[in-house]
Amino acid sequence: MNRIFYLPLSILFFFSGNLFAQALADAEAGLVMPTYNDIRIPGDGGTLFDANEQLSTGLKVYYRFRAGYRFGDRHNVFLLFAPLQLTYTGAFRQPIAYMGSTFGPEEPTTLTYVFNSYRLTYRYDFIESDRIRAGAGLTAKIRDAYIDVAQEGLSARKSNVGFVPLINLYFNWRFAERFGLLVEGDGLASPQGRAFDFEVALPFQVTDQLTARIGYRFLEGGADNDEVYNFTLLQYGLGALSLRF
């Protein structure tokens, strides 16, 4: 999957070699709390249920990594890898029709929700000053996801790999010598579904090259079609380090 991004990034590195350029490595981690996870599969014949209400899952440690490259001082390219896996356990309160199988109530149940995201982003910074940097761009997202439901002697899985175009927005206000306010993310909505992934954070400049930040992230969205109905809201408490070199 990662090979999809090697060629475009290599081309940009090659042609930007004689321009002002700066590389970025960003590591983020924290806790994610599922708020709702509405599922009906197939979308036109399954049982609608909220995994957060029917089953139990606690706070989950997550991580994501991003590599970036800025050239010409206003052009930015990023690669993001954001894996996610949630495991729900418990018992359904009523029979659940899922993927052509019926899962009974009061039976020990495990639901595994996987949503791995790979993204390639280009952003242009239309405001660039000592205090404020703001920009917008486009993100090509590939989702690699599945929902697996299992009881003793019975299991069913719905997998989905697909491409989603998103709009990228960025705002960074350095309101003090070392502190700032960052709002950044990707999002887009259509009649078939929506996807939003945004963070609000407070960056702290540790050195000229190293920046730390803490903040809040939310990821909300899903799809509504004949095959899948699934909408999820995840809320994150995050800590991150960014190194420019």
pLDDT beyond 60 at 116: yes
**Token duo for residue 240:** 């991150």
Containing structural domain, residue 188: 2-244
Percent of the chain exceeding pLDDT 70 equals 92
Name the residue among 150, 87, 142 with its Cα closest to residue 113: 87
| Band (187; pLDDT cuts 50, 70, 90) | very high
The CATH number that applies at residue 18 is: 2.40.128
Q: Rounded to whole angstroms, how far apart are CA atoms 165 and 86?
A: 25
Task: Provide the number of structural domains found in the chain.
Answer: 1
pLDDT at 32 over 60: yes
The pTM for the full model equals 0.89
- Mean pLDDT, range 30-41, rounded to an integer: 97
155's enclosing H/E stretch is strand 154-173
Distance CA 51, CA 38 (A): 6
pLDDT at 155 over 70: yes
